[in-house]
Each structure stands twice: as C-alpha cells, then as structure tokens.
Structure 1
Amino acid sequence: MNRGSAVDVQTFINEHPFSPFQWLVFFMCFVIVLLDGFDTAAIGFIAPSLIAEWGITKPALAPVLSAALFGLACGALVSGPLSDRLGRRSMLLGSVSLFGFACLASAFSGNIEQLTALRFVTGVGLGAAMPNAVTMMGEYCPDRRRATLINLMFCGFPLGAAFGGFLAAWMIPHAGWRSVLLLGGITPLLLLVLLFVKLPESVRYMVANGARAERIRAALARISADATEAPSFTMTESAPQTGGKGMGVVLSRAYIAGSVMLWVAYFMGLVIFYASINWMPILLKDAGLTPQRATLIAALFPLGGVGAVLCGVLMDRFNANRIIAACYALTAVSVYLIGQAVGNVGALVVIVFVAGVLMNTAQSSMPALAAAFYPTEGRGTGVAWMLGIGRFGGIAGSFLVAELARRHVSFGGIFAMIAVAGLIACVALLIKQAARPYVATPAAAKAESFGH
C-alpha cells in the first residue's frame, strides 16, 4: 500500500483475505434471512390452531395469511430509498427491532383482527430487513466472490422455512401456537443486541456519502490492519454514474430498462413460487393422489434452494444475466412437465424436485444480480424495489391458480400457464443483457469494481 495515496475501498476488500469480521457480517445477515424464512412458514402451521381456538372459518384466515405479504412489499419499497439516505446500518437496526417487537406482540393477540394488523407490521419490518441485508453483505464482499456469498446467505430462507415447520410441529402440541410467535419475536431482539454492538456501516456507503476518514479506517481495520496506514479513501464504480441517489438512480436513463426487467423477472419468479407452494398439494390431491402423498411431493419443491450456491459460483465466473435466464428457461420446461407427469408418481417426484432446484436457484440469485447492477448511491433502492415489486408476484400467483381452478382448467393446463411466467422472466433478463451488456471473466471480475 502506498502510504501517501488515497485507498480505493473495493480494491482493499478485493486484495485482502476474507476476514473473520466479514464472516461475522455474513452471519448476522444470514440470520436475518433465516428469520424471514422461519416467519413465512410458521404462520401457515399455526393457522389450524387459530381456527380451533377462535372458531373462525377457513376463508376468514385469508387476510391474516396475506397481511405479511403486503407488509413485505411495503417494507421493501419504503426502506430502499431510506437506506440510500440514512445508511444500511440504521435501516437494519430499525427493521429488525420492528419485526421483532411486532412478532412478539402478535403472540398476545386476542382476535383475528389484531393478529392481522400485527402480521402486516411484522411484514413491513421483514420487508425492510431483507434488501438491506443483501446490500450490506454485497458491499463487504470481494468482487470475485460476491454472487457466491449472497446466494449462500439466501440459503437461510429455505433453511428458516424448514426449521420453522419442524419447530412449529413440535412446539404447538406442547406449548400452543403463541409459543411459535414468541420465539419468532424474541430471537430477532437477541440478534438486535449483536447488531448494535458489532454491525458497522457499509464502507462503500460511508465513502459515497463523505463520512470522516477515521470511521472508514476503523471499519476497514477490522478486515486488515493495513487500513490504519491509509490517509484517505476513495471508491471507483464501473457502473455508470447518474449524479442522483435512490430512485433518481433506479429510474435514470442509464438504469430504467434494466430496473424494469429485474422487476419483471423477480415478479414472474414469485408467480411460479407461490402458485406452486400454495396450490400444488391441493392440485395433486384433486388429480387423484392421496392427501399425504400430495403433501410430501409438494414439499419437495421448496427444498431445492441448495443449487443457488453453485449458481453463485457460475455468476462470479460467467455472464450472470445469461446464467439466471437459462435457469428460468429450464424452470419453465420442468414446471410444464409437472402437468404432464401426474399419472406417473415416480416421474412426478423427480420433476417436482428438479423444478424446485431450478426455480429456487434462479430466484435466490436475483438479489445478487440486482446488487451488482446498481452503483452504491442507488443500490439500496434498486435491490429493495426489485424485492418489493416481486412480492406482488406472489399474491398474483395465488390468485392466478384460483382463477384457473374456478374455470375448471385441467391439471396440465394450469402448470402450462404457470410455466409461461418462467419464459417471461428468461426473456426479461436477456433484454436487460441487451440493454446494457455485461461481460465478466474471472480476471475481469478481480479487476473491475462493484457494478456489473
């Protein structure tokens, strides 16, 4: 390091080994994503207990089950611009405390209306936390490992969902449904203490916003003591600069085409995910399978998140847009084949699992793609808006299948329609690639700065 010259923060991160401090940042962000998965799954498991305790009908559960989804969308859309103005750290502290206290309060709900309102507030907190965790993690990663590490972090979601299911199945008979929400509220509040003590502000955010050199030096010194010798800090962005912040970047001429295509791809991915998660057990049962077999086969679909780590490695080495576009195209083919395999249980098991691996791989890779697309001044907003707008795809997917079922569309026809969403997502990413070509090789990845 040249003692007299300003240090480029991303070059500093690229040139030093991934430190225990960066693994701590990874762990804290991973736990936030894990809690999101836990909370998403747990509400479905407590639903039968709500019917029994409060004497409500199944249709009356719809608002409480969808309240968090609307909250997630609102939280993401609002938190992104705030993150680019107030900082990643303050948004993470605020959002984790919000969903922790709201989830804790929901354990003491006296009726379905109170629970619905508190589920919405919990969703706002979770929706704000997720994109900020992605942005924070991305800004502490070396270029050559960014997609791999963000995708590995996103494996926390299916793990949390599975963990939530297993824990709820054990806790509800022993301690009642409220115990699940108590756990979901106390855990983030314990994490909040660790975040408050250990979580720094993003170094890229500090440089972009003219923070004092001592603050940046203190954060980088936790990666390597070499930072203590640096007199000042700078930052290069290979992504085009717009001079704006937040939405000004995301909607600028340089980024608008890519932004819209990211929204379309993520939206369509969640159409497939929620249509499959919410309806596959019912559709398989209606197609002639026993309820137990239908549930077990449908449960294979969300298990496929492990492929995301391999996809992250490929994204760090090759063209990320085309890698994920190929995953969406293969998802479309495999989802279509689910509809053709209903008479053959063996084939159905294999195809549902393969479809789940491809679907979850593509979807879990999208936040890393968005984080790499935007410059630091607009990254928080860009990632958050993609996640926020995508949540409406989850709502649309559930309603799409309900409408197709109402019109008595065949099993094969329903999955053929769902598969179209995968093709649209694939085309959207190819348009994004054409609008702003992305070229990365292993050598280039080491040399280039954050934006792709």
Structure 2
Amino acid sequence: MASTRQDALRRRSVTWIVSLATVGLVFDGYDLVVYGTVVPLFLRDPGQLGEVTPAVAGALGSYALVGVLVGALLAGSVADVIGRRKVMLTAYAWFSVGMALTALATTTAVFGLMRFVTGIGVGALVATTGALVAEFAPAGRKNLANAITYSGVPLGSLLAALLAILLLDAIGWRGMFLIGALPLVTLLPLAYLKMPESPAWLASRGRLDEARAVAARTGVAISEARAADVPTAESVTAQRAGFAGLASRTYLLPTVLLGLLSATGLLLVYALNTWLPELMGRAGFSTNGSLAFLLVLNGGAVLGALVASRFADRYGPKHVVAGSFLLGALALALLTVSLPLGVLLAFVAVVGLGTSGTQILIYGFVATYYRTNVRSAGVAWCAGFGRLGGIGGPLIGGLLIASGLALNSIFYVLTALAVFGSLLTLVVPKAESRTAPSARGGGLPTPTPAPSERLVPTAE
C-alpha cells in the first residue's frame, strides 16, 4: 500500500514537472516562430518599423539567438551551482517581460535590442529544462520525458503559426508579441508553487537532508548514488562540476562534437522556421497557405520526436538522431520535385522530424549523456553554442534569398546540412563507462558505486 502511494505521488510530481517544463518551452517555440510569421509584414510595410530588407530581417531574427546564446551559457555557469529551479523561475519572468517590451518597439534598433534581451531569458530556460527533467524522469523514460518536454518548442511554433493565421490581421504584430508575455501571470505563479528543486542536484552539492526531504515530498525513487554525485573531498578534485567538468579529459571531445551537432540542428530549425513562409510564398502559395506549411512542419516535429524518443530509450539516442537527420535530408531534397499538395505536405512533416524533431532528440541525448554535476552545463553548452547555428539560420536564409539563388538550390543547401548532421552524430564517442542497461533497455545506465558511496538519495 505504501509503495502504491509512493508511486502515485511520484507520477503526480513528474506530471507536474514535465507539464510545467513543456509549457515553458511552448513559449520558447512561440518566440521562435512569431517573428517568422510577421517578417513578410515587415518586408512589405515600412510603416511598421521602418524599411526592412531581407538582409535586415535576417539580422533581426538573429539578435534573439545571440541573446539565447548568452543566456544559455550564463545559465550553465550557475545552474549547476545555485540549482535548476531558481534559474528556471527567473527565466520565465525575464522572457515574459522581454516579449512585452518588444511589442512596444517603434524602430528596428529597439526591436532588435529587445529581441536580444528576450533571448537571454529563453536561453536560460532551454539550457536548464533538460537537466531538471532528466533528473526527475524514471530510468528507461528519460529520452521520452525530454522529448515530451522539448516538443513544447515545435508546439509553440505551431501555436504561433495558427494564431498568426487567425489573429494577425486583427491584433497586428504587437498583439502577437504581447501573447508571448502571458507566462508572467500564468506559468510563473504555478511553477513557483509546483516545481521543486532536483534531489539529484541537491545531493550532488552535499545538501543531503534537503535532497531526502524533496525526495519524500515528491515521491522520487530513493536509489544508490553514483560515485560522481557524492561530494567527497576526493571527488571535488577529481570530478569537477559545471563547465570545468566539461573541459575534463572525459568530456572535452564529446562536448565539442555535441555542440557542433546542436549548432547544425538549430541552423536548420531557425532557417526553416524564419524563412519557410517566404520560400513557399515565392513558390506560389498564398500568405495563409505559406503559414500552413509551418503548422505541418512543427506538427511533424512533435509527432516524429515522440515516436523516435521511444526508440532512443530502447536502443540509445545516437543512431536514432543520425537516422532522423537522414530522413530530414531526404525529405528536403524531395521538396524540389513537383508534387501534389497532399504529398508535399507529408514531406514537409518529415522535414519537421528531421529538423525541429531531431533537435528535440539531441536535447534528450545530451541530458542523458552527462553525470549530474555537469549535466546542466552540458545542456547549456549545447543550447548556447548551438545557437551559433541558430544565429546563422536566419542570416543564411536571408542571404540566400537576397542573392537570387533558385528555390531548389536553397533546399539543396539545407539538404547537405542535414546530411552533415547525421555524419557528425555518428562520430560522437560513447558516454563514460557505465554498467549494463536496465532490462527495459532505457537510456544510459549508471556505474555501480562502491559500498561506501551508497548513501545518497537521487531522482535517477
């Protein structure tokens, strides 16, 4: 009976945590695509912010991503030290206020500045969410839990496209950005009440009484700690936390490769989410028809990532990510063929899996790759360094369009990038030595601690 109550308590806690984290990333995805939905308006109507050329539009799209890079790296510096919860609550407030102030901009300079400021909050959130979810998710379900959570990004993108179709003419671009400020009065209060600190993080900082208290309150499993999570004098020296730990011999090479992998994925994500409506408009589709492609793109990303994450939990995420990239490359290449509308939409959905969906899988890959005291820094590095690709996405898209390159050639460039992402995934080394996987085959297993180390409750 007690075990049943404990299981029910844990399920309820994990449901709250995953739900809140997902809603937070919905607004990240909304922020990503809401700009893409108003770019055609800026290009055609100088009365909105002044004259906006394709090159200027690409630059404005990139300012937010520079902020995301800064925010992610800052969060990685502190989330492994002060905790995941504090960083996430601050991020919710920060990007909400930023979206509200962006809606008040009257010039491209102010608009770009506020996009940068908003991006800092978004980056801090993306960098921290994966670590918290991975530390509460049950073994064998970590990739699935992260896939559900990071599906919030394409869901938010889908929401932005849908609301633009329904509301843009009525409320204008300023109203669209004000919608992005709603977490300040909705999500933030709920998260303050319902989102606990990670017991695994508390234990890794030596705060064992607090870890046990949170574990009891949330119903998380009490299991043997990993040696890396026991804060002894020896482990402090031998296994450094945060970014210092990423620079160790164990993690340096894979961290560089995972950062490049994330950058490739985000280049594709931001290029398509910023410029797909414009590209499809040039292919002859109406404004609403072009926005509908964004709905299909991000819908395919959500469904594809949720299905693929189950394979990632069972067989490991590495080859699933590589295969997802390849599927995206194939679908991008087929967009250059004259196809019936229904078939074209199906291929756009597969492109969603191979770009935004693959990026979801990458976050799960990274969150389960690192040990607890460097996990937040690892996710932050991939979210932050990866934003270099995100910054390049809108810029490269704008430059390709401004150069007059043929539409098919633009899709071939994106195809080559997806193939590169697949090849890059395959050269990421295996994670540090661990014991055999669980019988269910889920995720990365943990090393067996010495008897003297079997002291700490964790959420893993």
- Unpaired runs of 5+ in structure 1? 1-11, 228-232
Give 1:322-401 correspondences, 5 Å limit: 322-339=319-336, 341-342=337-338, 345=341, 347-401=343-397
Query: CA separation of 1:226/1:89 partners in 2, compared to 1, >3 Å: closer, same or farther?
Result: closer
The equivalent of 2:416 in structure 1 is 420
Equivalent residues of 1:100, 1:184 under 8 A apart: yes
Matches of 1:334 and 1:447, distance apart in 2: 30
Query: CA separation of 1:28/1:192 partners in 2, compared to 1, >3 Å: closer, same or farther?
Result: same
Q: Within the alignment, does 1:317 sit opposite 2:314 as a pair?
A: yes
The equivalent of 1:57 in structure 2 is 51
Aligned mate of 1:235, from 219, 225, 230: 225
How much does 1:29 deviate? 0.6
Deviations 1:187-242 (A, max 9, x none): 234322222222211111100001141x2222111233997xxxxx8621689985
Please, which moves more after superposition, 261-270 or 63-72? 63-72
Matches of 1:445 and 1:224, distance apart in 2: 21
Please, which moves more after superposition, 287-296 or 26-35? 287-296
Q: Which amino acid aligns with 1:56?
A: G
Matches of 2:20 and 2:447, distance apart in 1: 22
Please, which moves more after superposition, 275-284 or 66-75? 275-284
Aligned mate of 1:224, from 219, 228, 232: 219
Query: CA separation of 1:352/1:181 partners in 2, compared to 1, >3 Å: closer, same or farther?
Result: closer
Please, which moves more after superposition, 433-442 or 21-30? 433-442
Matches of 2:119 and 2:370, distance apart in 1: 25
Aligned mate of 2:192, from 189, 196, 215: 196
Does the residue aligned with 1:143 lie in a helix, a strand or coil? coil
Aligned mate of 1:98, from 94, 99, 107: 94
The equivalent of 1:39 in structure 2 is 31
How much does 1:69 deviate? 1.6
How much does 1:65 deviate? 3.0
Equivalent residues of 2:69, 2:383 under 8 A apart: yes
Equivalent residues of 2:36, 2:273 under 8 A apart: no
- Unpaired runs of 5+ in structure 2? 449-459
Identity %: 24
Q: Which amino acid aligns with 2:104?
A: F
Deviations 1:142-195 (A, max 9, x none): 111111111011221122222233334444444454333333223234322222
Give 1:61-80 correspondences, 5 Å limit: 61-80=57-76
Query: CA separation of 1:298/1:338 partners in 2, compared to 1, >3 Å: closer, same or farther?
Result: farther
Matches of 1:138 and 1:444, distance apart in 2: 16
Q: Which amino acid aligns with 1:21?
A: S
Q: TM-score by structure 2 length?
A: 0.83
Aligned mate of 1:127, from 123, 126, 138: 123
Matches of 1:447 and 1:333, distance apart in 2: 29
The equivalent of 1:6 in structure 2 is none
The equivalent of 1:30 in structure 2 is 22
How much does 1:403 deviate? 4.3
How much does 1:55 deviate? 5.7
Q: Which amino acid aligns with 1:427?
A: L
Equivalent residues of 2:58, 2:394 under 8 A apart: no
Give the length in aligned residue pairs.
432
Deviations 1:27-60 (A, max 9, x none): 1111110111122222344556664654611225
Q: Which amino acid aligns with 1:337?
A: L
Matches of 1:402 and 1:32, distance apart in 2: 29
Q: TM-score by structure 1 length?
A: 0.84
Equivalent residues of 2:91, 2:121 under 8 A apart: yes
Does the residue aligned with 2:141 lie in a helix, a strand or coil? helix
Matches of 2:105 and 2:446, distance apart in 1: 49
Equivalent residues of 1:74, 1:124 under 8 A apart: yes
**How big is the alpha-carbon RMSD for the aligned residues of Structure 1 and Structure 2?**
3.3
